[in-house]
Structure 1
Amino acid sequence: LGEKGWTPRIDDNSEDIKKTILILQMMIPNSNTMYRREQISESLKFYVEQLFGGNIKKAAEYFKVANATFRDWYKGRTIPPLNSLVSICLRLDISVVNFFNKVPVLELNNILDAVSSPTKTDVRQKYDHVYIKSYINKYIQQESITSPKSLRSIATSIGCDRRLLYIKYPTESKKIVDIYAKYLKREKTKREENVDIEMKVAIEKLVNSDTYPSRRKVETLLGGRYLIRERKVALKWKSIK
């Protein structure tokens, strides 16, 4: 500061510039969204399940974070500093806003390549690949319509390692991951629609019985399906109440 004639030596494509852009995106004037610290843990769980089949250690390795540290972030015991949060978003190639909103990562090729690092020689040859090919094609064409599953779940059903599917059937694996990501997105939308209807019914039932629709009483009537400490659910509860 105050030094004249200084020329910054930062490449326009440097990581510092990319991080700055991600942070600026959180400060868009027309965005009134406020994020809670709990959402970091919720979002990490979402992406660890979608991209790493729930494997926290693999996720920590991919994000280049110590396993114990990442596990604390994942569990919500601590929160990552802003620089680390932005680095995670850079690795996912999404904005911080999309991270908080748990927008599925659909362009998975680079991530899957990084996660599925073992070579072909690491894959055991004892599996019945005629059966595996038939199983995953049947799932994609038929079962995925009514019962979407994660790639990890399908690998478990087959009785093989998930990385085998990535290596031997990369095209099919990507389709399976995409199908499941879209399913999760639809379920999130459906849940947001249902909470409005069920919340109204619960509050009306309490009011009609001369009972104040407190948070706990409404949650009890909802059977634990929705917790009012969730931001969107809380907003519905306040507006309807």
Structure 2
Amino acid sequence: MAKFIQIPETTLRYWTKGINLIPLPSLIKICLQLNISILELFGIEELPINIQLPQKDLSKNSPKLRNKFDHKIIKRILDNEIISEHSKSLKKVAEIIGYDRKLLYKKFPIECKKIVDNYQSYITEQKLRRENNIKKQLDNIAQQLSENGEYPSRRKVEKLLKQKYFVKEKNIREQWNSLKINYLKI
């Protein structure tokens, strides 16, 4: 059977045992080889309901349906995003509006540039907040360890900080190194 429908025997075995599902192109290929319909393959003589599919004109001259590009509404949405407190990426804004990011950038370059700049500022601000938070925690941990007479090793600090690999970030690593130097001076 596998040779007749031109598939590997293991594939046919997996299909018959229910391990793998038969892909639709393979079903069509099998039906063409056997000269039967898919319904006949499954033992169905007729469909229980009458399905009417809409007739579509598939000719090249048929117009493609597109979203209407309303410049005023989109500009208003972009302007609102620019002044919004919660900055979003241009990709996210494009998804919300329902248009391609490149199209928005082409039609509204100034607004898109402002959104991108706002988002970059937001990301930078978030990174600085995170770094400052970790630096404060580092100071507290180093002080706590020095009060206990313990050296602020990387493992002890990471354990208390509950964030591994913080030393890979340059600014935080510098802070940690300065804390170690200060500890050695004490």
Name the TM-score, length of structure 2 as normaliser.
Answer: 0.51
149 and 225 in structure 1: CA distance in 2 versus 1, 3 angstrom threshold: farther
- Is 1:166 aligned to residue 105 of structure 2? yes
| Deviation, structure 1 residue 178 | 1.7
- Report the structure number with the largest CA radius of gyration: 2
Q: Percent identity?
A: 42
| Deviation, structure 1 residue 130 | 4.0
**One-letter code of the match for 1:131?**
I
Aligned to 1:140: 82
1:113-124 alignment runs, 5 A limit: none
| Deviation, structure 1 residue 219 | 2.1
| Deviation, structure 1 residue 208 | 3.6
| Deviation, structure 1 residue 176 | 0.8
Q: Do the aligned partners of 1:195 and 1:226 also contact (CA within 8 Å) in 2?
A: no
136 and 220 in structure 1: CA distance in 2 versus 1, 3 angstrom threshold: farther
| Deviation, structure 1 residue 165 | 1.0
Aligned to 1:237: 176
Q: Do the aligned partners of 1:226 and 1:233 also contact (CA within 8 Å) in 2?
A: no
128 and 221 in structure 1: CA distance in 2 versus 1, 3 angstrom threshold: farther
198 and 226 in structure 1: CA distance in 2 versus 1, 3 angstrom threshold: farther
220 and 158 in structure 1: CA distance in 2 versus 1, 3 angstrom threshold: farther
**Separation of aligned partners in 2, 1:127 and 1:225:** 48
Structure 1's unaligned 5+ residue stretches are 1-123
Higher RCO (CA-CA < 8 Å; seq separation 6+) = 1
**Separation of aligned partners in 1, 2:95 and 2:163:** 29
| Deviation, structure 1 residue 179 | 1.5
1:39-188 alignment runs, 5 A limit: 125-141=67-83, 143=84, 146-188=85-127
**Separation of aligned partners in 2, 1:205 and 1:230:** 22
| Deviation, structure 1 residue 127 | 4.2
**One-letter code of the match for 2:153?**
S
SS in 1 for 2:120: helix
**Separation of aligned partners in 1, 2:164 and 2:112:** 31
CA RMSD across the alignment: 2.6
Name the TM-score, length of structure 1 as normaliser.
Answer: 0.41
| Comparing 231-240 and 177-186, the one that deviates more | 177-186
**One-letter code of the match for 2:135?**
D
156 and 209 in structure 1: CA distance in 2 versus 1, 3 angstrom threshold: farther
**Separation of aligned partners in 1, 2:92 and 2:128:** 23
**Separation of aligned partners in 2, 1:164 and 1:138:** 18
1:203-222, Cα deviation, whole Å (9 max, x unpaired)? 22334445442212312332
- Is 1:196 aligned to residue 138 of structure 2? no
| Deviation, structure 1 residue 161 | 1.2
Alignment coverage as a number of residue pairs: 115
Aligned to 1:22: none
**Separation of aligned partners in 1, 2:94 and 2:159:** 37
**Separation of aligned partners in 1, 2:177 and 2:143:** 13
Q: Do the aligned partners of 1:151 and 1:176 also contact (CA within 8 Å) in 2?
A: yes
